[in-house]
Amino acid sequence: MRFASDNSGPVHPRVMEALQAANDGWALPYGNDEWTTRAVEKVRTAFEAPEAAVYFTATGSAANALALATIAQPYQTIFCTPEAHIEEDECNAPEFYTGGAKLTLVESRDARMVPEALARVLESKSGENVHGAQMGPLSLTQVTERGTVYGLDHLNELTTLAKRHGIPVHLDGARFANALVSLGCSAADMSWRAGVDIVSFGGTKNGLMGAEAVVIFDPKLAWEFELRRKRGGHLFSKSRYLSAQMDAYLTDDLWLDMAKMANTAAQKVVSGLERIDGAQLLHPSEANMIYASFSSAAHRRLRDAGAQYYPSTGATEGPDDAHASCRIVADWSCPDAHIETFLAHVASD
């Protein structure tokens, strides 16, 4: 039962084939190869952004930190939610890459930033004098860190506030594809048409071995990004093996198909939980991640069965009828049988 994270499943066979195909012979290093050219073009096509600067990194933290460093100054603050990956899970990578910018936490509900809260914070920062950190980028996460998805209206409302104050917008799209298939809109709708300036476009959590794209809609930032990527140690000499992954990802809708498989798997778990007395969702589950609560007895059964997921601390230690929360994530490779077994263990009270 593999529900710990979408970074724990296998690489999709078509991606492995693409890597094997890319291994045929000799290629110029540092992105001067045909795979990179092709993959960049496919990202541009996917985003309907023929002028966009597109670069690949191997980790999402690198994509986020480099993207933010390119649009933030060290004397600024970046606005994000308290749950954001850049705040919680990158061991100060944004502070490091920006040369010491701050992160300002803006109130969220179900990990979605509250527009009124952002409006208040930006208003209070507007015209900030020399003593305080200056307004820097807004960074949003889609899918959010609690499994919810911003609707396009919500996204637009937030980015409109940012534009009004003249600050750029970053989208942490580690699960971009999962959000996209959830909303049923286009990549352009969910990025530049919604006021986003720079996207961390994830692949690693969605069936790649380790490849993310940074999509920069203003190509004037391209060279600075390249220099920052290099000095961060993130320019791969054998870039073709990053690019080949991204190339396969964007071929024949593989990225969307895998995201659909992941979301569908998660929604089966959701449906199952909804039918179980005493189980409850802690946040709406709108893509491939679930925050739920059920009995400690159920957590113990899952543990004993070797289920992989993230129960909260002490979840297995309460009395039988104590409720304890957990995180459940599905990826493209999740077998139906795992879902059924998982639910059976939860339900058997």
Residue 4 touching its own copies (CB under 8 A): yes
Phi, psi of 172 (to 5 degrees): -80, 100
For its own copies, the binding residue among 219, 230, 314, 321 (CB under 8 A) is 230
What's the closest the beta carbon of residue 275 comes to its own copies, in angstroms?
26
CA 244/CA 35 separation, integer angstroms: 6
Return the number of the residue (245 or 267) whose C-beta is nearest its own copies. Answer: 245
For its own copies, the binding residue among 44, 163, 165, 238 (CB under 8 A) is 238
For its own copies, the binding residue among 112, 146, 154, 234 (CB under 8 A) is 234
Look up residue 260 and give its amino acid. K
For its own copies, the binding residue among 152, 227, 305, 344 (CB under 8 A) is 227
CA 242/CA 236 separation, integer angstroms: 8
Return the number of the residue (232 or 284) whose C-beta is nearest its own copies. Answer: 232
Return the number of the residue (224 or 349) whose C-beta is nearest its own copies. Answer: 224
CA 4/CA 227 separation, integer angstroms: 35
Q: Where are the beta strands (DSSP E) in the chain?
A: 53-57, 76-80, 102-105, 108-109, 112-113, 134-141, 169-173, 198-201, 212-216, 280-281, 289-295, 310-311, 323-329
- Options 141-149, 219-227, 289-297, 319-327: segment touching its own copies (CB under 8 A): 219-227
Beta carbons of 128 and 134 less than 8 angstroms apart: yes
CA 331/CA 266 separation, integer angstroms: 8
CA 183/CA 185 separation, integer angstroms: 5
What's the closest the beta carbon of residue 62 comes to its own copies, in angstroms?
3
Beta carbons of 290 and 273 less than 8 angstroms apart: yes
CA 223/CA 294 separation, integer angstroms: 51
- For the segment 88-127, give every residue that binds its own copies (CB under 8 A): 88-93, 95-103, 105
CA 297/CA 157 separation, integer angstroms: 43
> From the CA atom positions of the chain, what is the Rg in Å?
21
- For the segment 137-196, give every residue that binds its own copies (CB under 8 A): none
Return the number of the residue (204 or 295) whose C-beta is nearest its own copies. Answer: 204
- Options 143-151, 161-169, 234-242, 278-286: segment touching its own copies (CB under 8 A): 234-242
Return the number of the residue (36 or 204) whose C-beta is nearest its own copies. Answer: 204
Q: End-to-end alpha-carbon separation of the chain, Å?
A: 19
- For the segment 19-58, give every residue that binds its own copies (CB under 8 A): 19-20, 23-30, 57-58
Return the number of the residue (5 or 156) whose C-beta is nearest its own copies. Answer: 5
Return the number of the residue (60 or 147) whose C-beta is nearest its own copies. Answer: 60
